Amino acid sequence: MSIVRFTSDQLKKIYREVDLECAELARQQGPVSAAQMNLIAARIMEAARDKPPAVTQLLSVVGPHGT
């Protein structure tokens, strides 16, 4: 298992997606337990971890000429 670091913007998107999915589940089935929320968060974070950063994100960190 490797360590993955998310930027604050990535974390905001992840938490927003978790909130949306939990709200949808609550509409469908009623209250969402902490265990369900954790499973949803784990699935979303796993998917986010497997997505490489966009080239524009890399350029903003490294610069267009690798500097």
Q: Rounded to two decimals, what is the model's pTM?
A: 0.67
Domain housing 26: 8-62
Provide the pLDDT for residue 21. 94
Within a domain: 3: no
Establish if 44 belongs to a structural domain: yes
Number of domains present in the structure of the chain: 1
**Which is more confident, 24 or 55?**
24
Residue 67 lies in a domain: no
Q: Mean per-residue pLDDT for 43-57?
A: 73
Cβ neighbours of residue 25 closer than 8 Å, sequence gap 6 or more: 32, 36, 40
Tokens of 14: 């992840």
Residues 26-53 have a mean pLDDT of: 89
